[in-house]
C-alpha cells in the first residue's frame, strides 16, 4: 500500500508532468469510484487546466483553473501513469502486469494521458469545490504531517505522550496523531532509533524521543529521494518501481540477518499489522 513517500513521489511527478496541462477528455471504466458521479466529474474537469498538485496525508489534490479540485486516493494498489503518444506502447506500460489495470484516463490537449491503474479497484477520484478540500472529513482527521517542519521534538513528545500507557509500535500508525508514518516506515524508524515496537511510551526517554523523530524524518526523506518502496504494486508515473527496497533494514526481512549486527530479524503482529525488528539493536 502506498505510504507518504510513494504519494509524495506521485505528487512531485504530477507537478513536473501534468501541471499546466489542459484536460480535454476523461474516461472511466469503473465509474463507481468517480465522485460525485461521472457526469458531474466530466463536466468539472473537461476544458479545465491543472494548476497545482499537492499532498494532504495520503490524499493527492490537483487544483484546476476553475472552482474545483480533483482529490485522489491511491488506496491499496492504485497508481498514475503518464504516457505520451511516443511512450504509450513502451514495454514498461504494456508488459508490466501491474501497469495494465487502467480504469480511468485523463486526456490532455497535447494528446498525452494520465492513466490510473489499479488492480484491486479501491482507489478513488472525487471532484470537490476548492474551498472544501481541507474540510473533507478524511483530511480534517489527519494529525500533523510527519515531514512538516512544524513537527518539532517537543510536539512529537507531547503527541506520543498522550498515549503514554500504550506501546509505541501501533501508536506510530495513528494518522490522527501524526500523519504519514505507515507500516513500512514505522518498522524502519524504530530500528534506526534502537527502540523495540513493544516498548511502552512512558519508558521512552527524552533522548530517545529525539532519536525517534530524527529517524522518522530521515527514513521518510530518504524514501522520497528513492521514489518510495515497491512492496508489490507501487509504480511511479513512468511505470517504474520505487528504489527504497534495497535500503530497508528490517521491513519484510524476517529470518534474514540484521544489516548492523547479524542477529536474525524478527516479525511480530501488533494490532493486526506486522512489525519487524532486530532483538539486539532495539531495546
Nearer to Zn ion, 188 or 233 (CB): 188
Task: Give, in degrees to the nearest 5, the angle at Cα 277 between 272 and 282.
Answer: 130
Q: 106 or 276, CB closer to Zn ion?
A: 276
Residue range at the interface with Zn ion (CB under 5 A); choices 3-11, 115-123, 166-174, 261-269? 261-269
**Torsion (CA) 43, 48, 52, 54 in degrees, nearest 10:** 10
196 binds Zn ion (CB under 5 A): no
264 counts as binding Zn ion under rule CB under 5 A: no
According to CB under 5 A, which one of 141, 261, 264, 271 is a site residue for Zn ion? 261
Rounded Cα gap, residues 136 and 142, in angstroms: 10
Of 138 and 261, which CB lies nearer to Zn ion in the complex structure?
261
Contact call for residue 263 and Zn ion (CB under 5 A): yes
Nearest distance in Å: CB 266, Zn ion: 10
Q: Strand 113-117's sheet: what is its strand order?
A: 23-28, 102-108, 113-117, 79-83
Residue 105 has which C-alpha cell?
A: 484516463
With H, G, I as helix, E, B as strand and everything else as coil, classify residue 80: strand
Q: Which is nearer to Zn ion, 120 or 260 (CB)?
A: 260
Candidate ranges 146-154, 159-167, 237-245, 263-271; the one touching Zn ion (CB under 5 A): 263-271
Query: Could you give the angle at the alpha carbon of 274 between the alpha carbons of 172 and 245, nearest 5°?
Result: 85
Positions marked active-site = 2-3, 58, 273
Pick from 39, 129, 260, 283 the residue near Zn ion by CB under 5 A. Answer: 260
Site for Zn ion in 200-259 (CB under 5 A): 258
* Separation CA 203–CA 167 (nearest Å): 9
Verify binding: residue 160, Zn ion, rule CB under 5 A: no
Which among 67-75, 174-182, 204-212, 271-279 is the span making contact with Zn ion, rule CB under 5 A?
271-279
265 lies in the site for Zn ion, by CB under 5 A: no
User: DSSP states of 6-32 as a string?
Assistant: HHHHHHHHHHHHTTTPBEEEEEES-GG
- # residues near Zn ion by CB under 5 A: 7
Asked if 30 contacts 269 with a C-beta cutoff of 8 angstroms, the reply is no
Chain residues that interact with Zn ion, rule: CB under 5 A: 258, 260-261, 263, 278, 280-281
Amino acid at each position: 500500500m502506498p505510504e507518504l513517500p510513494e504519494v509524495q513521489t506521485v505528487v512531485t511527478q504530477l507537478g513536473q508532468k501534468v501541471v499546466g496541462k489542459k484536460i480535454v477528455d476523461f474516461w472511466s471504466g469503473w465509474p463507481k469510484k468517480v465522485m460525485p458521479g461521472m457526469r458531474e466529474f466530466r463536466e468539472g474537469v473537461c476544458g479545465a487546466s491543472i494548476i497545482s498538485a499537492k499532498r494532504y496525508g495520503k490524499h493527492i489534490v490537483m487544483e484546476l483553473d476553475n472552482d474545483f479540485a480533483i482529490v485522489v486516493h491511491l488506496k491499496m494498489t492504485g497508481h498514475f501513469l503518464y504516457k505520451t503518444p511516443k511512450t504509450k506502447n513502451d514495454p514498461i506500460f504494456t508488459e508490466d502486469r501491474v501497469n495494465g489495470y487502467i480504469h480511468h484516463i485523463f486526456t490532455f490537449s497535447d494528446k498525452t494521458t494520465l492513466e490510473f491503474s489499479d488492480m484491486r479497484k479501491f482507489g478513488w477520484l472525487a471532484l470537490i469545490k476548492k474551498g472544501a478540500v481541507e474540510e473533507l472529513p478524511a483530511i480534517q482527521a489527519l494529525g500533523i504531517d510527519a515531514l512538516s517542519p512544524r513537527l518539532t521534538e517537543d510536539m512529537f513528545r507531547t503527541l506520543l505522550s498522550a498515549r503514554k500507557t500504550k506501546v509505541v509500535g501501533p501508536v506510530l500508525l495513528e494518522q490522527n496523531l501524526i500523519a504519514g508514518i505507515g507500516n513500512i516506515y514505522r518498522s524502519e524508524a524504530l530500528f534506526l532509533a534502537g527502540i523495540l515496537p513493544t516498548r511502552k511510551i512512558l519508558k521512552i526517554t527524552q533522548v530517545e524521543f529525539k532519536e525517534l523523530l530524527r529517524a522518522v524524518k530521515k527514513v521518510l526523506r530518504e524514501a522520497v529521494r528513492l521514489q518510495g518502496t515497491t512492496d508489490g504494486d507501487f509504480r511511479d508515473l513512468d511505470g517504474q518501481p520505487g528504489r527504497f527496497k534495497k535500503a530497508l533494514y528490517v521491513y519484510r526481512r524476517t529470518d534474514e540477518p540484521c544489516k548492523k549486527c547479524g542477529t536474525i530479524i524478527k516479525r511480530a503482529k501488533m494490532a493486526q499489522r506486522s512489525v519487524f525488528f532486530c532483538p539486539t539493536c532495539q531495546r
